[in-house]
Amino acid sequence: MRTAFAFRTPQPAALRLTAYVPRAAGRLREFRGVLLAAGAAAFCLLPRGVSADQHAPAVTGQHARAHQAAPAESANDPATGQHAVPSNARRPARPNRRDASETPSPPAARRVLLHGRVVFARDALKELGIPAYEELDGQVVLKTDDGELLPIVPDWRGRAFFQDPRLRNRPVDLVVRRYQRIPYIQVLMIFVREGNKRLYMDYWCDVCSIPMYEIKPCDCCQGPIRLRLTPRPLPSYLSPTSSQSLAPGSDHRSPP
């Protein structure tokens, strides 16, 4: 009895590879579906209100110091008008400007004693035959005893001449700061002359016993203040030439 043997014809390698490719692609599609389902389930199990930063691994060592050194990004702040900018956003270059806190140095100045009357600049010019329009209204000048007109800076001390008519058109002695190449004078101390006396001028609150230098409510109690005239010597930093003929109680005479 003869036994029949069946022999398979060997197939090329390319044909065997093409047979496995469809099955491998199917397995990859199944594995991708399993991964997507697992990720969705893990996301649903996260507690609400927990940010991703809380689940991030702790940063240690050099990376932690760099992380702490980085400035925190704040939200929009209506008080400052600044808006939060993402750290990865490109910030516009700032112009090279001077710091706002820097103020220019004032020019050279000297402290001197001047004598005269404080008047409105327009009236003083009118007496000299110089017409001036209403744009100059309100500006006051010191008309010195020798006829010089010096405009007054309306600052913490000189502002009183703009406010109080009792200080204008009367003999005064002013300790001022004079700058080079600037006609304006900055008043430091005000002395008014009554007869043969020189009296220091300021405003006074009888309740709080504090001096002020312009017309306004008291800085402490917000009550009324009054004009105060008291005897007081000239400051010691003035040169003897400007103050020798103006001791308190003496008649006023212009210095030589």
- Residue 172 and residue 116: Cα distance in Å, rounded? 6
Tens digit of each residue's pLDDT (9 = 90 or more) over 161-198: 999 999 999 999 999 999 999 999 999 999 999 988 99
Mean pLDDT of 90-97: 55
Tens digit of each residue's pLDDT (9 = 90 or more) over 31-45: 777 677 777 766 666
- Residue 168 and residue 160: Cα distance in Å, rounded? 10
Q: Could you tell me the CA-to-CA distances from 16 to 28, 63, 145 in Å, in that order?
A: 19, 53, 122
Q: What's the mean pLDDT when you consider all of the chain?
A: 76
The pLDDT, as a whole number, for residue 242 is 53
The residue assigned the tokens 């010191």 is 142
Whether residue 66 has pLDDT greater than 80: no
H/E stretch holding 31: helix 13-45
Alpha helices per DSSP H over 166-231: none
Beta bridge partners of 115: 173
Between β-strands 149-151 and 140-144, what pairing exists: parallel, antiparallel or unpaired? antiparallel
